[in-house]
Structure 1
Amino acid sequence: MGELKDRYIRFDWAIKRMLRDKANFAVLEGLLTVLFEDKTQIVEILESEGNQLAETDKFNRVDIKAKNSKGEIILVEVQNTREVYYLERILYGVAKTITEHISLGESYGNIKKVYSISIVYFDLGKGNDYLYHGQNRFIGVHADDELQITTKQEDALLPKYPREIFPEYYIIRVNEFNKVAKTPLEEWVNYLKTGEIEPETKAPGLSEAREKLKYYSMTPGERHAYDEHLNAIMIQNDVLSTAKMEGLAEGRAEGRAEGRAEGRAEGRAEGLEEGWAKGKAEGLLSTARKLKSMGMPPEDISLATGLTIEEIQEL
């Protein structure tokens, strides 16, 4: 019975289905609190996937868009599969959020700070850490000092740093975490990676997660959909891993044929990118067909694969 009791719902599933409920805010607040090193309270969950400017606007991958007690906007996104222009899409999502949340004609003073948190379950470049933080700071090229702006607020002149206004970015590279969890942050990343939560945890949000995210508290239908989600992820990752190896091999072959270092590098890059793109597309379609044949609703298939409802209906 211990094995059944200690199985918890993965975060990427919970963030789509359960953590949007106000009764479950404490779980997400715990992650944000340890990440920001500051007590964070969520006031409301904002619309995440609507307001597309056109049919070609494919940015619909923000899993949760929340507003904290300071009125700031927090984007939390989980990615299970690699995208070629991942960083560019993060930047686009933040810029889109800023413009969406200020009405035409409003003062720029109404712009709220945005925090972007990306939880990635794939190999994202090179780096030795599992957590990276990016923040805008304006540093003097010669004086090496940080620029401070004087701004008028409530009839008083106050100093302000650009980093207090500009977005902040957090990237959690889940697969790079290979430590024994000792701190609250490490406990959280361990849960993100393994789905395991220690019974005696004191980390903010994880004790609530132990109660809210128990696998066997779901209905049979929810468990079935969740298990299919995990299966879909495994299929996607297998396909993409194969595509990556094929793309790399093709790139090496092209490079060797040209017989120049430049040719090898270019061949590898083109082969790898082409292999990724082709493998991802074929993997998603294959996964969607299998899930559709098993009777999974189009909405759930869309969540698992990222395909639109229209694309799924045409399979």
Structure 2
Amino acid sequence: MEGFLSELLKENITILEILESESNKDFKKHKQNIVDLKVKNSKDEVVIIEVQYDRDYSFFHRILWGTSRVVTEHLHEGDDYLRVPKVISVNLIYFDLGEGEDYIYHGSTSFRGIHKNDVLQLRENEKKDVAEDSIEHIFPEYYLIKINRFDDLAKDTLDEWIYFLKNEEIKPEFTAQGLQEAGRILAYTKLKKEDQIDYNNYIDNRRRRDSELRTKFSEGLEKGKLETAKSMKKEGISAELIQKCTSLSLDQINDL
């Protein structure tokens, strides 16, 4: 998911945690189709991203409800309005929605003059209170990704992700961030239950062997340092120099 969001938003995204939605606890259907992520972007800003996928005749109303829900749940009573979280709603759509020729749509809020057609901007003294320089970045943003409208021609790394989401396949030439890991997870989910158990056992055994090898290597390295220190001590080399050469403590050297 980090790779997909990074490609979509054109900046490195790190998922900090998956948030528990209070309003979803009583709605099993919603909980299965919505996930709220607290993420950090490349500017070290914390953003809440809501990812949802569903077939719903009232979809546009649903995504408006979703972003409103996130704002109210993460602004605590008594908090300053400046603490209203930035919310980005990412919607993966596998059904016909609206009319339009594109397959990726971005929506944001701006204020345009009725008479002058100018876009209202923040004044300099107002910019210090917000992370971004424009008013629209304060408000929720929406991404509608119409998976079913994608023509299967991957023209960039974001398209590679959309191809994967549509076809559950990764072409050898694909290089999108995080896509190979997503492919491994998909392959795992397609395994039979007994094969998943065998795979998990294999991974556990491999990790155990790797841990044992690291322990033996560390023990061997320590033993080698002690042997080196012994030889240096026999040659009359000072404990301080032995310490610099072996990284052993003075107590360890004096005990030899």
TM-score range, shorter chain: 0.5 to 0.7
* CA 1:113–1:62: 2 relative to 1, 3 Å: farther
Q: Partner amino acid for 1:31?
A: F
Q: Matched residues in 2 for 1:107 and 1:57: separation?
A: 32
Give the whole-Å Cα distance in 2 for the aligned partners of 1:85 and 1:35.
Answer: 25
Question: Is 1:163 aligned to residue 132 of structure 2?
Answer: no
Change (3 A) 1:180 1:59: closer
Residues 53, 92 of structure 2: 8 Å contact kept: yes
2:52 corresponds to which of 69, 77, 93: 77
Partner of 2:92: 119
C-alpha distance in 2, partners of 1:222/1:194? 23
> Which has more radius of gyration?
2
Q: Note the residue ranges of structure 1 that are not aligned, 5 or more in a row.
A: 1-27, 224-315
Question: 1:169 and 1:71, CA in 2 relative to 1: closer, same or farther beyond 3 A?
Answer: same
Higher relative contact order (CA 8 A, sep 6+): 1
Alignment of 1:165-244 (within 5 A): 165-215=138-188, 218=191, 220=193
Q: Mean Cα displacement is larger for which, 36-45 or 85-94?
A: 36-45
Q: Distance in 2 between matches of 1:138 and 1:94?
A: 19
Partner letter of residue 84 of structure 1? Y
| Deviation by residue 1:198-240 (Cα, 9 ceiling, x = unmatched) | 12321111122233331477451698xxxxxxxxxxxxxxxxx
Partner of 1:43: 16
Output one character per residue of 1:252-273: Cα deviation in whole Å (capped at 9) or x when no partner.
xxxxxxxxxxxxxxxxxxxxxx
Is the 8 Å Cα contact of residues 130 and 138 (structure 2) preserved in structure 1?
Answer: no
Output the amino acid matched with 1:51: S
Residue identity matched to 1:35: L
How far apart, CA to CA, are the structure 2 residues paired with 1:166 and 1:222?
Answer: 46
Query: How many residues are treated as equivalent by the alignment?
Result: 191
For 1:213, what is the secondary structure of its paired residue? Answer: helix
Q: Residue type of the partner of 1:64?
A: V
1:144 to 117, 125, 144: 117
Q: Secondary structure at the match of 2:7?
A: helix
Counterpart-to-counterpart distance in 2, 1:122 and 1:182: 22
Separation in structure 2 between the aligned mates of residue 202 and residue 57 of structure 1, nearest angstrom:
36
Tell me which of 34, 37, 43 is aligned to 1:63: 34
Per-residue Cα deviation, 1:270-309 (whole angstroms, up to 9, x for no partner): xxxxxxxxxxxxxxxxxxxxxxxxxxxxxxxxxxxxxxxx
Cα deviation code 1:126-148 (max 9, x no counterpart): 11111111011112223222211
Deviation at 1:178, TM superposition (A): 1.0
Q: Residues 165-204 of structure 1, C-alpha deviation per residue, up to 9 Å, x if partnerless?
A: 1000001111111142131111111111111111232111
Distance 1:222 1:152 in 2: 58
- Once residues 158 and 189 of structure 1 are traced to their aligned partners in structure 2, the CA distance between those partners, rounded to angstroms, is 30
Q: Where does the alignment leave 5 or more consecutive residues of structure 2 unmatched?
A: 197-256
